[in-house]
């Protein structure tokens, strides 16, 4: 979790992140997203839908053990976010750790 926080902080400064289910889903469908990060309290219907879209497009996703409030804060925002889409990793090395992996952290 601490490592994910560091990566999200670096990505928020040097890369590009999209917040929210609707915009994240569109980024996956348009094949712009490189990684989807889900919070532990993401609603089941949204989680199921985003996982299906990720599998169809081959986009990796991570189900984290942090709440949506913490996930939004870790990414540098003051609001909760159950789904985050990473468009550009910036100078973070997170992409090397999750290439093609769909798992839970």
d(CA 103, CA 105): 7
**pLDDT per residue as tens digits for the range 19-51:** 999 999 999 999 999 999 999 999 999 999 999
If you average pLDDT over residues 53-76, what whole number do you get?
92
Q: Domains plus CATH for the chain?
A: 2-104 (3.30.1330.30)
The pTM (predicted TM-score) of the whole model is: 0.87
Task: Note whether 39 and 68 are within 8 A (CB).
Answer: yes
**Beta-carbon-side half-sphere exposure of residue 17 (alpha carbons within 13 Å):** 23
């Amino acid at each position: 979790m601490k490592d994910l926080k560091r990566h999200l902080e670096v990505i928020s400064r040097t890369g590009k992140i999209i917040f929210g289910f609707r915009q994240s889903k569109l980024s996956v469908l348009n094949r712009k997203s490189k990684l989807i990060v889900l919070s532990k309290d993401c609603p089941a219907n949204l989680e199921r839908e985003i996982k299906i879209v990720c599998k169809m497009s081959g986009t990796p996703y991570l189900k984290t053990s942090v709440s949506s409030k913490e996930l939004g804060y870790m990414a540098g925002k003051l609001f909760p976010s159950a789904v985050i889409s990473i468009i550009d990793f910036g100078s973070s090395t997170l992409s090397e750790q999750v290439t093609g992996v769909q798992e839970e952290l």
